[in-house]
Amino acid sequence: MTFYEQLRHFADSYFLVFMFLVFLTFCLWPFRPGAKQHVEDARNSIFKEDHDG
């Protein structure tokens, strides 16, 4: 088996599982315990006044 075939096999199997787990983590991250204040801050951030200018 060549290096390309090994890399292709890794990308088709294990990396796909890894990317799915990363996607699932990002989807569930806002629902973790203790994240409520961060979610509220992000939700209301567009209503805050811009004091830079």
Q: Are 7 and 14 in contact (CB under 8 A)?
A: no
Instruction: Report how far residue 37's alpha carbon sits from residue 18's, in angstroms, rounded to the nearest whole number.
Output: 29
- Give the pLDDT confidence score for residue 39 in this predicted structure: 92
CA 27 to chain centre: 7
> Residue 12: which pLDDT band, with cuts at 50, 70 and 90?
confident
53: pLDDT strictly greater than 70: no
Which pLDDT value is given to residue 1?
Answer: 85
Burial letters 1-22, b for 16+ CB under 10 A, else e: eeeeeeeeeeeeeeeeeeeeee
pLDDT digits (tens, 9 = 90+) for 19-50: 999 999 999 999 999 999 999 999 999 988 87
Q: Where exactly are the structural domains of the chain?
A: 3-47
